[in-house]
Amino acid sequence: MVQNRNRLVVDVAASGNEALLKSSVGCIRVVTNDTATASIGTASDYAVWYFLPIAMRLDMDLHICGRGSPTTALKARRISEIWQSWLPGHLSRVEVSFSEEVRRDEPASDRELVFLSGGLDAAHTALTRLASGRSQDVITIQGMDYPLDDDARFGALVAKTAPLAELLSGRRIIVKSDAYSLYEKVELNLRRHHLGHIFALAGAGFVHAHGYNRLILAADERLDGQFLTFPWGSNSATNFLFDDGCTRLCSDSEDVARPEKIALVQSSEIALKSLSFCWNRQVQPQNCGICVKCLRTKLLFLAVTGGVPPIFSVDEIPKNWAERLRYKEPGGLHAVHEILNEGLASGYWRRIPNFEDMRAEVRAYYGRVKYRRWEKERGKQKGRRFSITEIIRSLRR
């Protein structure tokens, strides 16, 4: 470590199924309902993943007063280096250390722990893994989409997803954490770019790392979509680095597009009824059918299957749906293109309201943007006319 560099020191006070991670900038409380697979009092690697984004944000090295793997410290530093290169000035490279380093050399269990949130990506991962006959358990987290003080709605989510969870495994782990409160305090996340969720997920998963050899997380986007939503917390460049030497976080289905996921989930009534992806906190775990997330998913169902399943409170689709999906932004354009392209490929485009007008509007907008870019690069020259060949060649660049 660089001498005289400020350190963020985290004290780990663990007892039974609960841990309090205390630091000078705030605390994070973690509670699990499953002590059989938890290593909450014997290893403190999970504390690194919870506090790493805070240390990166505050430009401080991270020291955990507890036992942990040198592999965790090394991989955490590499994660911080990547984020520093992506967001210099917002996040910084940090060194990580423990009071006592203990290398994990015991054979890891062959079981895997699968994150089950209720979303489309997680449902697809559950079904593909069920078909492959994997040995696995399930983990769901409170304190992210569902605040810790909203036990009623979180309980409803657990009940709604219970049939799918029971298909996967007889063991469902529930972890509760208030990490998001501290992330908000240090202003970790950027507008429309969520950075903190991967660290909260990894922290909760590694509470149980000694019981599993892999923690399975559904990829938010196929790889090309990740480029468009950059920077995003969960991504292919850093997810695999959440690793303590024996247990590693693994992204599932990074090569699968959302329309393909829709097709598989549609084939399972249990998975379909478990879906909960709505952004409207007032109606969760039901799906409002109005918010951007619900609208996008409804349109994908239409494009892939020709119909909308009865899982939305509102079935109607507005005529200006492409605008509602924010097609003028990279992530929104990606979602709109998925719908347009799948509708054309499946032949169900006629069932999508205002399909041709929306397609024309998107194409026209990006045509104007490209022409303006060309015009700016070339500059206006008085009395000069550009040939069609010049214009086309410039627009193709």
- Residue 5's pLDDT is what? 76
- Residue 393's pLDDT is what? 52
- Residue 382's pLDDT is what? 47
Residues 177 and 322 in one domain: no
Q: How far is CA 114 from CA 173, 217, 312, in A?
A: 10, 6, 26
The structure's pTM equals 0.89
Residue corresponding to tokens 């917390």: 233
Residues 211 and 80 in one domain: yes
DSSP per-residue letters across 237-285: TTGGG-B-SS-EEEEE-TT--HHHHHHHHHT-HHHHHH------TTTTT
Residues 226 and 299 in one domain: no
Give per-residue pLDDT as tens, 262-281: 999 999 999 999 999 999 99
Numbers of helices and strands, H then E, in the chain: 14, 10
Residue ending a domain, among 189, 218, 252, is 252
- Residue 392's pLDDT is what? 46
Q: How many domains does the chain have?
A: 2
Helix (H, G, I), strand (E, B) or coil at 329: coil
Q: How far, in Å, CA of 256 to CA of 213, rounded? A: 24
In a domain, 272, yes or no: no
Q: How far, in Å, CA of 12 to CA of 41, rounded? A: 9
Provide block-wise average pLDDT over 10 residues at a time, the chain (397 residues): 77 94 97 90 94 98 97 98 96 97 78 94 93 88 94 97 93 97 96 92 95 93 87 94 95 93 95 96 95 97 96 95 94 94 97 96 84 59 52 47
Torsion of CA 53, 56, 59, 63, to 10 degrees: 70
In a domain, 344, yes or no: yes
In a domain, 264, yes or no: no
- Residue 109's pLDDT is what? 74
Residues 284 and 222 in one domain: no
Residues 45 and 183 in one domain: yes
Residues 228 and 292 in one domain: no
Residues 245 and 317 in one domain: no
- Residue 27's pLDDT is what? 98
- Residue 255's pLDDT is what? 93
Q: How far, in Å, CA of 89 to CA of 252, rounded? A: 31
Residues 177 and 210 in one domain: yes
Q: How many other β-carbons are positioned within 10 Å of the β-carbon of residue 9? A: 17
Q: Per the structure block, which two tokens stand in for 82?
A: 């990547």
Residues 287 and 386 in one domain: yes
Residues 218 and 309 in one domain: no
In a domain, 325, yes or no: yes
Residue ending a domain, among 199, 218, 252, is 252
Residues 41 and 132 in one domain: yes
In a domain, 69, yes or no: yes
- Residue 395's pLDDT is what? 44
Q: How many other β-carbons are positioned within 10 Å of the β-carbon of residue 286? A: 18
Give per-residue pLDDT as tens, 128-142: 998 888 878 999 999
Residues 285 and 347 in one domain: yes
In a domain, 21, yes or no: yes
Determine the residue type at 334: H
Structural domain of residue 149, as residue ranges? 7-252
In a domain, 91, yes or no: yes
In a domain, 267, yes or no: no
Q: Please check whether residue 222 is in contact with residue 257, taking contact to mean a CB–CB distance below 8 angstroms.
A: yes
